[in-house]
Amino acid sequence: MASFKQFWVKISASLVPPSSARLEKLAGLNPDRIYVENVRALLGTSTWIAKMVCETAARRGLLKKHVQVMCPDGSVALSLADDSQLPEFVRCWQEVDGEYEEQTLRTKLLNKLEFYAFERELSQ
């Protein structure tokens, strides 16, 4: 976990000066679920810059990009490490008259949400 913090301190220091508030936000990040919006808030930058930081870290092997397929109700239908492996259909549950019914939905019609996971230890 120390190297995860070290990684974000290095990235944030190159863009904006580290502050105690930013370091506190950093401590709240889940290294297995890093969303662009969390990085944007942590660095105090635009979404575009936060996405660039995550993509650069992924290309360097520090983060691994994942994708979630979202059901219409906002729940996660599927989470994969590679969006090229997405199935044609996923199953979601929908409430109908107080009962939950399983639905099979076309994946390409559903929202996708990218996230990143911390990959490995950093060298000093």
pLDDT for residue 123: 45
DSSP state of 49: H
CA separation (Å) from 108 to 31, 94, 103, 104, 111?
Answer: 28, 18, 15, 12, 8
Residue 6 has a pLDDT of 66
Q: Which of 18-22, 72-76, 84-88 has the lowest mean pLDDT?
A: 18-22
Question: Is 45 among the domain residues?
Answer: yes
The pLDDT value recorded for residue 70 is 96
Question: Does one domain contain both 53 and 14?
Answer: yes
> By residue range, what is the domain housing residue 81?
65-115
- What's the structural domain count of the chain? 2
Whether residues 6 and 51 fall in one domain: yes
User: Per-residue confidence at 5, pLDDT binned at 50, 70, 90?
Assistant: low
Same domain, 42 and 70: no
pLDDT confidence tier of residue 4, bands split at 50, 70 and 90: low
pTM of the model: 0.72
User: Domain boundary at 48, 64, 80, which?
Assistant: 64
Mean pLDDT of 35-47: 88
